[in-house]
Amino acid sequence: MASRFGRPWLTATLLRRKLNAQIAAALTPVFVTPALAEQFYVVFDPASHKCEAMHEIPKGMKSMGTYGSMDEAKKAMGSMADCKTQ
């Protein structure tokens, strides 16, 4: 590859760095998006009359709310009347 600067290795190095940066920029959302989309649900089990924080809502349980972190879900459970333990 000819370079107008007289140093062909410099042009190849710059192109390689640019390509690596573009690949990294394209792959970043693939790994970051699932972490940002994590949701936690506070679910109420009518059989045991207890609440739990989970990643999904199991069949037969009632959803009490959706939260962005486990800490938020546990904090919210403390203020819910149905989730108070006897």
Each residue's pLDDT tens digit in the chain (86 positions)?
Answer: 555 656 666 677 888 888 888 888 888 777 766 666 678 999 998 888 888 888 888 888 888 888 888 888 889 888 888 776 54
pTM: 0.53
Three-state SS for the chain is CCCCCCCHHHHHHHHHHHHHHHHHHHHHHHHHHHHHCCCEEEEEECCCCEEEEECCCCCCCEEEEEECCHHHHHHHHHHCHHHCCC
Cβ of 77: how many Cβ atoms within 10 Å?
22
